[in-house]
């Protein structure tokens, strides 16, 4: 039941999308697109590795053109719904066309690498702990830091401030507090508005907004926010396993995890010992 959209309709639907796709993935996608019979499964796999392209895809499939009752967060489902012609139009609309300098690409490699890594780890963790929201856990892993490239675009010195933010994270200071002091905004807020513009489900956007607010979220013992806690628990474990503190924050110690880790593990019912074993298994699987 795929309703093919024209290039113009896609350009119109994608206004406001500005997380750049990874250049290499664009090359691979364009190669696949010129095959006599493009393979939708290969295309879905490539798109699902990239936050910018995945965001564009979900924005499109959740747009009024398709009139879906429930918003979807599954990349494979979105590709199947859109069909190959619309997907090819989407890829062409997202072409980078040389708008990024080599320096920016090198800096953004940290963002792309960690996004795909955290997404895959969220997926594995969601399956391991029996979560119902496997697609959503993957999407959160992929999109949680989508504000980072936008902050970098706006503030060239952003990455060094982010490193300071990770260095001073702790019980009294969130990662985003340091960003707020310097820029009056932060990547979680920018990520939230990006996710909203991509028409992601509200609770996913909410998890993006709160992903550095885990101490407050898990310190609240009430039954409120269970959906948020379920998603954030998986994300915080995944960030720690993938060493986001090292890749993005350039730190040797995960100060944020040291502050919230015990609360997260309590919430999901894992002992430190079990988590260490799980961490080792996942790191070996992912070749860390």
What confidence score (pLDDT) does residue 99 get? 62
Distances 155 to 5, 159, 161, 185, 246 between C-alpha atoms, Å: 35, 9, 10, 11, 21
Q: How far is CA 78 from the centre of its chain?
A: 17
Are 105 and 86 in a shared domain? no
Write down the residue that tokens 């720690």 correspond to.
240
HSE-up (13 A, CA, CB side) for residue 124: 20
Q: How many percent of the chain have pLDDT more than 90? A: 61
Are 225 and 122 in a shared domain? yes
What confidence score (pLDDT) does residue 90 get? 85
Are 153 and 244 in a shared domain? yes
Query: 42: pLDDT confidence band, cut at 50, 70 and 90?
Result: very high
Q: Which of 60, 94, 128 is the last residue of a domain?
A: 94
Report the distance separating Cα 114 and Cα 248, nearest Å.
Answer: 8
Report the distance separating Cα 128 and Cα 163, nearest Å.
Answer: 31
Are 109 and 68 in a shared domain? no
Q: What is the CATH number of the domain that holds 209?
A: 1.10.3210.10
Question: Quick one: which of 46, 61, 45 has its CA closest to 1?
Answer: 61
Summarised one tens digit per residue, pLDDT across range 167-194 is 999 999 999 999 999 999 999 999 999 9
| Dihedral angle over CA of 90, 91, 93, 98, nearest 10 | 160
What confidence score (pLDDT) does residue 1 get? 42
What confidence score (pLDDT) does residue 86 get? 86
Average pLDDT over residues 125-151: 92
Please list, residue by residue across 76-93, b when 16 or more beta carbons sit within 10 angstroms of its beta carbon and e when fewer do: bebbbbbebebbbbbbeb
What 5-9 contacts at long range (C-beta under 8 Å, 24+ apart), as own/partner pairs, is: 5/60, 5/65, 5/82, 5/86, 5/89, 6/89, 7/89, 7/92, 7/93, 9/65
Average pLDDT over residues 33-57: 91
How many degrees, rounded to 5, is the angle at CA 192 between CA 145 and CA 3? 95
Are 153 and 51 in a shared domain? no
pTM for this model (two decimals): 0.88
Are 50 and 118 in a shared domain? no
Are 237 and 121 in a shared domain? yes
Q: Which of 75, 94, 113 is the last residue of a domain?
A: 94
Q: Could you tell me which residue, 15 or 48, shows the higher pLDDT?
A: 48
Query: 68: pLDDT confidence band, cut at 50, 70 and 90?
Result: confident
Are 106 and 42 in a shared domain? no
Domain that holds residue 131: 100-284
Query: 77: pLDDT confidence band, cut at 50, 70 and 90?
Result: very high
What confidence score (pLDDT) does residue 96 get? 57
Report the distance separating Cα 162 and Cα 168, nearest Å.
Answer: 10
Q: Which of 49, 77, 94 is the last residue of a domain?
A: 94
What confidence score (pLDDT) does residue 238 get? 97
Report the distance separating Cα 170 and Cα 55, nearest Å.
Answer: 31
pLDDT at position 79 over 80? yes
Are 14 and 127 in a shared domain? no
Are 50 and 142 in a shared domain? no
Query: 270: pLDDT confidence band, cut at 50, 70 and 90?
Result: very high
Total domains present in the chain: 2
Pick the range with the lowest mean pLDDT from 30-39, 88-97, 201-210.
Answer: 88-97
User: What is the rounded average pLDDT for all residues in the chain?
Assistant: 90
Are 104 and 82 in a shared domain? no
Are 163 and 63 in a shared domain? no
């Amino acid at each position: 039941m795929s309703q093919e959209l024209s290039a113009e309709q896609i350009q119109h639907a994608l206004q406001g999308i500005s997380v750049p796709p990874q250049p290499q993935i664009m090359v691979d996608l364009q190669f696949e697109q010129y095959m006599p019979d493009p393979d939708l499964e290969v295309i879905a796999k490539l798109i699902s590795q990239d936050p910018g392209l995945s965001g564009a895809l979900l924005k499109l499939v959740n747009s009024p053109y398709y009139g879906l009752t429930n918003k979807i967060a599954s990349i494979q489902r979105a590709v199947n719904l859109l069909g190959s012609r619309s997907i090819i139009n989407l890829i062409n609309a997202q072409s980078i066309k040389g708008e990024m300098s080599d320096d920016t690409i090198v800096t953004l490699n940290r963002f792309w690498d960690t996004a795909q890594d955290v997404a895959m780890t969220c997926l594995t963790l969601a399956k391991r702990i029996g979560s119902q929201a496997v697609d959503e856990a993957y999407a959160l892993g992929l999109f949680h830091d989508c504000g980072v490239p936008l902050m970098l675009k706006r503030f060239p010195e952003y990455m060094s401030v982010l490193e300071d933010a990770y260095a001073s994270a702790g019980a009294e200071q969130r990662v985003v507090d340091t960003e707020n002091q310097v820029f009056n905004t932060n990547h979680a807020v920018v990520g939230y508005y990006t996710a909203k513009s991509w028409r992601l489900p509200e609770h996913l956007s909410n998890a993006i907004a709160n992903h550095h607010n885990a101490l407050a979220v898990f310190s609240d013992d009430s039954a409120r926010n269970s959906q948020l806690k379920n998603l954030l628990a998986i994300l915080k474990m995944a960030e720690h396993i993938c060493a986001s503190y090292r890749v993005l924050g350039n730190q040797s110690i995960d100060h944020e995890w040291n502050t919230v880790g015990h609360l997260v593990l309590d919430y999901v019912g894992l002992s430190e010992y079990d988590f260490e074993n799980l961490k080792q298994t996942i790191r070996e699987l992912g070749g860390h």
